[in-house]
Chain A
């Protein structure tokens, strides 16, 4: 197993399947009344969050605690970071405190790469800028496999602001590794210019893709993109790329609707779609804890001081 999880591309097919299988076992245990594993007792996991993301932080915190790790939450706001401490100095501080793993969320693409060069513990990328969010991709793959029974050959359509989306990048890489067929759908302004080099298909026409889709994943689109002329208005974006009830009807019977959250209801996804039986949005949150447990377990469990 790898030491850090920074990019979904770090994972071989075997690594990725091991994480998904492990998460599956952990999820079953979670149904039992008293659920806590001693695996990471005495180990320290630091949640280093430079961006507000209560959902992701709580998910990692719950995962670490269920494995009996000591958890330190280090939020950039109101800390020494807000007073101008560099990432490197923060890293050295965490190192001195004996962090076995650092879970980092940062607004700068590549910050986890830099951190991994400065600490001895494992680094888990919990979202870096517009780069990657590998545990999100893992929990998405886990959710797809739970619902549809397989990943190989699955047709996955990812819709929205691919250019700025770390979720899209990690999903394209991981789903390609796992044998799914990914199609990105977005206005051309919200696709990287060299998206043709990515291991996926690209389309500008959502209605044409939906009938041949097993999984449609809607990405959050920020209204402020409008100000940089990525699209003319939120309403036009919603009309062309939003998933409403009538569009959902174009999907095959078995197809599911995913969203990494937080949602803009009425923009990229209509409220009735988000709350429909096809929606896996709440499941994704629950699966997030299992996946993060599996990641911490596999990154840390095998090394020294394991229980």
Chain B
């Protein structure tokens, strides 16, 4: 779709270190990695100096709020996918809580087309589980699955599918087209008017608590439901140590349960709410240091499959308010890899191969972007493929990352339309130098390439 003049002549990436290993050259041509090895040459190819840069497969985000249609003041498909490219992503899953809700074939196809037109990364729409996110009847899941957008991930994210029968039916129903239900685990009655993690800080600050049990109770129930009907369940933004234990147990049973963690839950804790600055207000809320430790460990050992940003842009006026009046959510696409570098790589919990697995390979598999979904459903060509190992013949979806860089995060220079980054002012390691989508650079020299 984005094949331009570059595709014919290609790019030679000099001296990159795939997964942080030995340096090599990569020849990118016709949308694939045509050759890998030392001292490559190809006439007409543009040289990219990648000495000292880590090469990873293009990142895949399972959880992105692009806000279009409906809240184009916060983000558009164009600005959100540009932000994704700047963060090293080549595919994002666009959450369904837009206005109108992405609960019909028409809306998901619109978002999918906007993504193709923007061209910064592949946009995979997530379909709503229930009509209008209303939680009372199923949306037309099959129609969305059969649409041009080929939806495979369904979620009411922002709201929990709290009705146990509806959740059971959704899990069962999507088996017909190899779908997965991504649950926003939040027991609604336990979290009425909730503002932050229930614990020492909520009590002191006088902010209504969001207890860990409200997440854990739903996860436990849904793991049991998924086991009962033999379906695939994905848990969005796991935030507590207790959730990790439940997921570990479910996986030990061999049940088809996967899970994601956000960058902010890997780095930040609830005491930040003491500033009453709503830039730290997010759902699920920031938890305790003990939770952060458990989440990091779970991501390292694979209990949590992947990192997903839950990129949730909001305009300034929705954050420059009293805490209870502010919107939930944080931006994350442009900082995710750096946060994972800080929290997982610099701590020795993951190497770069592990990062590639948790930020590209596994999320691509959960989103059915790894090519297997195409085969198993006999879908026509057109479903993009992501999360492949960097090797000759693989799609040239990749990111070049400078691990030696270290700069404070400055949301004012983010390409997202919104500025609500909780990492503002924090010094984080690393910098995305280049992102290639099917052989075409979307980011070069740390700037948008087009």
Task: State whether B206 touches A86 (Cβ < 8 A).
Answer: no
Task: State whether B322 touches A114 (Cβ < 8 A).
Answer: yes
Number of contact residues on A: which range applies? 20 to 34
| Smallest Cβ-Cβ distance to B195: which chain A residue | A109
Pick the residue among A88, A106, A108, A129 that contacts B320 (CB under 8 A): A88
Task: State whether B206 touches A131 (Cβ < 8 A).
Answer: yes
Beyond A109-B205, A109-B207, whether A114 also contacts B321 by CB under 8 A is yes
**B381 on the interface (CB 8 Å rule)?**
no
Pick the residue among A113, A130, A169 that contacts B276 (CB under 8 A): A113
List B contacts of A113 (CB < 8 A): 275-276
Task: State whether B324 touches A129 (Cβ < 8 A).
Answer: yes
Stretch at the interface among B167-175, B196-204, B366-374: B196-204
List B contacts of A114 (CB < 8 A): 276-277, 321-323
Pick the residue among A87, A128, A194, A198 that contacts B199 (CB under 8 A): A194
Min distance, Cβ B69 to any Cβ of chain A, angstroms: 25
CA distance A198 to B200 in the complex (A): 9
Pick the residue among B203, B204, B277, B323 that contacts A108 (CB under 8 A): B323
Task: State whether A194 touches B203 (Cβ < 8 A).
Answer: yes
Q: In A170-197, which residues have CB < 8 Å from any B CB?
A: 192-195, 197
Beyond A86-B321, A87-B322, whether A110 also contacts B209 by CB under 8 A is no
Instruction: Kindly list 10 other residue pairs between chains A and B, CB separation below 8 angstroms, not including A129-B206, A194-B200.
Output: A108-B322, A109-B205, A109-B206, A110-B324, A114-B322, A114-B323, A131-B206, A132-B206, A194-B203, A197-B203
Min distance, Cβ B327 to any Cβ of chain A, angstroms: 13
Min distance, Cβ A109 to any Cβ of chain B, angstroms: 4
Task: State whether B321 touches A110 (Cβ < 8 A).
Answer: no
List A contacts of B325 (CB < 8 A): 108
List A contacts of B206 (CB < 8 A): 109-110, 128-132, 166, 169
CA distance A52 to B267 in the complex (A): 41
CA distance A129 to B276 in the complex (A): 13
B residues sitting closer than 8 Å to A (CB atoms) are 198-200, 202-209, 211, 275-277, 317, 320-325
CA distance A132 to B275 in the complex (A): 15
| Smallest Cβ-Cβ distance to A50: which chain B residue | B322
Task: State whether A131 touches B205 (Cβ < 8 A).
Answer: yes
A residues sitting closer than 8 Å to B (CB atoms) are 86-88, 106, 108-111, 113-114, 128-132, 166, 169, 192-195, 197-198
Query: 15 A-B pairs, CB-CB below 8 angstroms?
Result: A86-B317, A87-B321, A87-B322, A109-B205, A109-B206, A110-B206, A113-B276, A114-B321, A114-B322, A129-B324, A130-B207, A131-B206, A193-B199, A194-B199, A195-B203
List A contacts of B205 (CB < 8 A): 109-110, 131
List B contacts of A169 (CB < 8 A): 204, 206
- Residue picked from B204, B208, B277, most chain A C-beta under 10 Å: B204
List A contacts of B207 (CB < 8 A): 109-110, 129-131
Task: State whether B200 touches A197 (Cβ < 8 A).
Answer: yes
Task: State whether B324 touches A198 (Cβ < 8 A).
Answer: no
